[in-house]
Structure 1
Amino acid sequence: MKNMNNISFKNNLFPVFVSCLTFTIMVITLLLIANSTISLTVQHIQPLNIKKTYDMDKTQRRQLPHKTHALTVLRNRGYKVYNATDELKNNALAMGIQETKAKKTAPKKDREIKILIWTTFFKTRFYIKTKPALKTSNCSIKHCSFHYDKSRAGIASSDAVLFHQWGSDFKISDPIPQIRFSWQNYIFFSIENPTRNYFTKYAKLLDGFYNLTATYKQSSDVPLPYGKYVPRILRSKLTSSKNYYMENRRNKTDKGASVLWVVSNCETVNNRMQFVKNLQKYIAIDIFGRCGKPCERGTKCGTHPYMFYMALENADCKDYITEKLWKNSFQENLIPVVQGSKVEYGKHLPPNSFIHADNFKSTKYLAQYITKVSQSETLYNSYFKWKELYQFTSAAGLQNPDNVCKLCTVLNERRQNISFNKVYKISSWYDWRTQCASR
């Protein structure tokens, strides 16, 4: 009887044992699947978390508390890091990164290109009407937009994050995105030259942060010139018949100055203020702005009574020719007086469209020549002959539809081939000591 009870007890335990074993196997199977999923997520989907991947000492933390992955971190995360190729010149490339599995995390190639604007533009939000801009420029990319959604979802849905590089807009102490994907483009956007204090102080802290540049420099991934000129498709009869001398003389009084200068930065590395003061000894120059007579921002400051404009940049840098010439001179039909690299002006401007100060032995001889041109209808009009053959556009940065198209096109190209990316060493690529001259 006792043996029978034992057998009965064992028989009752067997189903329980089988059930427990089955449950255990199911749990183990689920854990294996879960672990596989987690592994896949960590390897291919999880963004680069700044706090986990970049550990800094206290000194670094004070300077740059939220810096994203450095090159050493990229190596540790399994990225291949290699040297620059021949196409990437001018110290533009610090390193390249490549991730073979990146396509699993990147947006679909046919989805709209989204650009997250992370900073302000000179302390204000700048709105870019992308679709009208792309339509105006006859751009091949039609689905491209900008937005300000800084949530995790907004960051994750963005092909690129754009940072305007200006001290008041992008401070080193300001928070930056807490997640970053390997396929995302961090855009270094600037229309200012590297002599400004912000760049000279903080450029090294930005090394390894950006993988796409959009600046006035021609070597940028997306060049953003302040202006450009192109041949006219048809010769302009209206322009050829226009008498610029008579038009500008009509608005000018005999006793008034013929030269205008609007300036807001009085202390510059090229010492342009002293140059103008020396020139004023021999010719009258009306100065408006912070360094002269009051002039409300956005107004023309009486450009019509004048015949010449002092289109002097705040620094003499490679490719740096700004609205001072394109807008204040060319657009207002005034002859620009410039100084700086004659090679640069010859490369970027129409022939015989400006007076270069360095062509004269002294400011006295320059003043004498300006006076001579102002008194000769034929000589004065000769500086506008180029308008019969060429036309120009004047719009800086991303306010220019063509520049918006350029940016969207580059992002589309990178989306199609995301296995390679640049990482910029900004302290070399945007170094004022190699990009600009001093006087």
Structure 2
Amino acid sequence: MLKTHQPFIPQIRFRSNQSYLFKKVSIAHYTTSYGSRTDSQSNVFNTNLKQVCEIYDPEEYAYADGIIVSLVDFVRFPTLSNEKESYRRKHQSQLWLINIEESPRNSYRTAQINNVTELDDWFNLTATLKPESDFHIQYRGYRIKPEIVNLIQNKLNLKFNHTINSTFLPPSNSFINVPSIYLNTLTSVLNKELNDRQDAHSQACPYTCNQPLSTDLIQSLQPYLPPIISRVLNRNIVYIAWFVSNCDSHSGREQYVYKLRSQPGIHIDIYGKCKSLFHSHIIPTECPKGTSNCMEKTLSNYRFYLSFENSKCDTYITEKYWYQGLNGKAVPIVLGAKIEQYQRIAIPNSYIHVDNYQTIEQLAKELHRLNKNDSEYRKYLQWTQLYDVSEHYGPTARYDYHSTLCFLGHYQRLHAMKENNEQRQYLLKRIRDIFNIGKMHLPNFNWETATTKLIRISEFYNPKVNCWDNDFPSFLRRMINFLLIWWKLF
């Protein structure tokens, strides 16, 4: 992945003091995000939050309370005219959040950062694919289907507890004698925000999200589940599809595909940009561009799908699994993150991990076994009977960077207030309640002191620590890949 847009470095601009009843918490984007600019004209806050939060232009970042950096568009940190002074030391109160949506290997290559330690001791919060981040970026999540919950309750006579019990909110006039416009406005905003987020979470995850059913419970449900219908093209030929557009990956997936494709009875068709460049075998059917549900229709012609990531890095599980892999038509074969990490994040029994097999020959043998044994094959599709998959079920689905930085900014202001009245304590708890809805822990934010620590990114998100694949191929290596691998995949 290379930058296809001009690098953006905001030139600091003076911001005049505005006349407000109280100062809102302000957020600014120091970088663009994949070339897209976010500024004061962007509609990022809902009507309710606009009463207490606002977006500044990137050029006004020095005046903002919270700063968002997208690493893919990052060029350099801000400096001061006096080179002996440190911008970060001068602006210690600012909360800086780093957003990294790619693997460590690809992220730093795209940003052209050779020394990861350059990012150390600057950021307060992280948003990455690692569950240990403040924001765990996960393309989708899963929940138990409502009809399955009904079966468990009505057929198995087991009880399911609801995810959320309503939080007690005092009447709106509880603090009517408090003269502070700031506290009263914040009370109204937080109460509405808490209610709205609780409602959204209880609708998306009425019982639980990203928590699988036990093996015993699934076994007890078997008599009540409808049969799974799967298409068999040929018992002796294993049909596999692969959608791929990055032909020079760190993970070595091209070599793996070539070796797998060389096994007797294994037929792999390649779609995407790499297919258009290097072609593939004759494809049985291909839906026209723009056709709705194109991938689902295409994959209905295959028994398996290659969900091969471009990097082998910790918890690097992307849309290749969550979107293409969980299509419900073909069983995904995954390569990328370790088995233990798939077991921690992915839907159980929804994938085949290549690391479970010591050799490619063993994997091919297992694929042939599943191709000839429908009952065994369908075990990998049973999740479609049990779970729904959606971006609304992800671990941080009800949180966004802007509102989170705004809430934390107000939390710090409230914490710093000298008055220790009931309303202040109430508001501090309300903000904590909002983050408790989805069990969002924010490991880098200390709720007791309302402070954060500066993060050593080189220890948290480093390809030398978090990845076990090869560095990006050189130009010569890429040419060799083309000659020795892709022409064989022709």
1:211 to 1:320, Cα distance in 2 relative to 1, 3 A: same
- For the residue of structure 1 that corresponds to 2:105, the secondary structure is coil
Distance in 2 (CA, whole Å) between partners of 1:297 and 1:161 is: 38
- For the residue of structure 2 that corresponds to 1:201, the secondary structure is coil
Match of residue 75, structure 2, among 168, 171, 174: 171
Structure 2 equivalent of residue 391 of structure 1: 388
Q: Tell me the CA shift for residue 119 of structure 1.
A: 2.5
Q: Which amino acid aligns with 1:272?
A: R
Does residue 241 of structure 2 align to residue 328 of structure 1?
no
Distance in 1 (CA, whole Å) between partners of 2:138 and 2:274 is: 26
5+ residue gaps in structure 1?
1-64, 69-104, 136-140
1:236 to 1:242, Cα distance in 2 relative to 1, 3 A: farther
Q: Tell me the CA shift for residue 435 of structure 1.
A: 1.1
Query: 1:84-233 to 2 correspondence within 5 Å?
Result: 113-125=25-37, 130=44, 147=55, 149-152=57-60, 156=63, 158-166=64-72, 169-172=73-76, 181-196=91-106, 197=109, 198=111, 201-233=114-146
Distance in 2 (CA, whole Å) between partners of 1:284 and 1:164 is: 40
Distance in 1 (CA, whole Å) between partners of 2:248 and 2:144 is: 37
Does residue 214 of structure 2 align to residue 308 of structure 1?
no
Distance in 1 (CA, whole Å) between partners of 2:388 and 2:70 is: 29
Q: Tell me the CA shift for residue 272 of structure 1.
A: 1.3
1:329 to 1:125, Cα distance in 2 relative to 1, 3 A: farther
Per-residue CA deviation, residues 333-356 of structure 1 (Å, 9 max, x unaligned), is 431101341111111112211111
Distance in 2 (CA, whole Å) between partners of 1:120 and 1:364 is: 46
Q: Which amino acid aligns with 1:259?
A: I
Match of residue 403, structure 2, among 405, 408, 416: 408
Residue pair 1:131, 1:144 contacting (<8 A) in 2 also = no
Distance in 2 (CA, whole Å) between partners of 1:257 and 1:382 is: 17
1:125 to 1:256, Cα distance in 2 relative to 1, 3 A: farther
Which stretch of structure 1 is more off in the superposition, 256-265 or 429-438? 256-265
Q: Tell me the CA shift for residue 110 of structure 1.
A: 8.4
Structure 2 equivalent of residue 286 of structure 1: 269
Residue pair 2:11, 2:59 contacting (<8 A) in 1 also = no
Match of residue 425, structure 1, among 449, 456, 467: 456
Q: Tell me the CA shift for residue 324 of structure 1.
A: 0.3
Distance in 2 (CA, whole Å) between partners of 1:306 and 1:189 is: 36
Structure 1 equivalent of residue 257 of structure 2: 276
Match of residue 343, structure 1, among 334, 340, 343: 340
1:291 to 1:241, Cα distance in 2 relative to 1, 3 A: same
Per-residue CA deviation, residues 330-388 of structure 1 (Å, 9 max, x unaligned), is 14543110134111111111221111112223212212322332343322221122333
State the superposition RMSD in angstroms. 4.4
1:388 to 1:144, Cα distance in 2 relative to 1, 3 A: farther
- Computing the radius of gyration from Cα coordinates, the structure with the larger value is 1
TM-score computed with the length of structure 1 as normaliser = 0.60
Q: Tell me the CA shift for residue 279 of structure 1.
A: 0.3
Distance in 2 (CA, whole Å) between partners of 1:371 and 1:126 is: 51
- For the residue of structure 2 that corresponds to 1:124, the secondary structure is coil
Match of residue 360, structure 1, among 341, 357, 362: 357
Per-residue CA deviation, residues 271-318 of structure 1 (Å, 9 max, x unaligned), is 111111100012111112232236979995533322321111112222
Q: Tell me the CA shift for residue 125 of structure 1.
A: 4.4
1:225 to 1:142, Cα distance in 2 relative to 1, 3 A: farther
1:394 to 1:273, Cα distance in 2 relative to 1, 3 A: farther
5+ residue gaps in structure 2?
1-8, 82-86, 152-220, 278-285, 414-449, 471-490
Per-residue CA deviation, residues 84-117 of structure 1 (Å, 9 max, x unaligned), is xxxxxxxxxxxxxxxxxxxxx9xx9986654323
Q: Which amino acid aligns with 2:454?
A: V
TM-score computed with the length of structure 2 as normaliser = 0.55
Residue pair 1:204, 1:426 contacting (<8 A) in 2 also = yes
Distance in 2 (CA, whole Å) between partners of 1:388 and 1:142 is: 42
1:267 to 1:367, Cα distance in 2 relative to 1, 3 A: same
Question: Aligned pair count?
Answer: 322
1:271 to 1:200, Cα distance in 2 relative to 1, 3 A: farther
Q: Which amino acid aligns with 2:101?
A: I
Distance in 2 (CA, whole Å) between partners of 1:381 and 1:416 is: 50
Structure 1 equivalent of residue 242 of structure 2: 261
Query: 1:69-84 to 2 correspondence within 5 Å?
Result: none
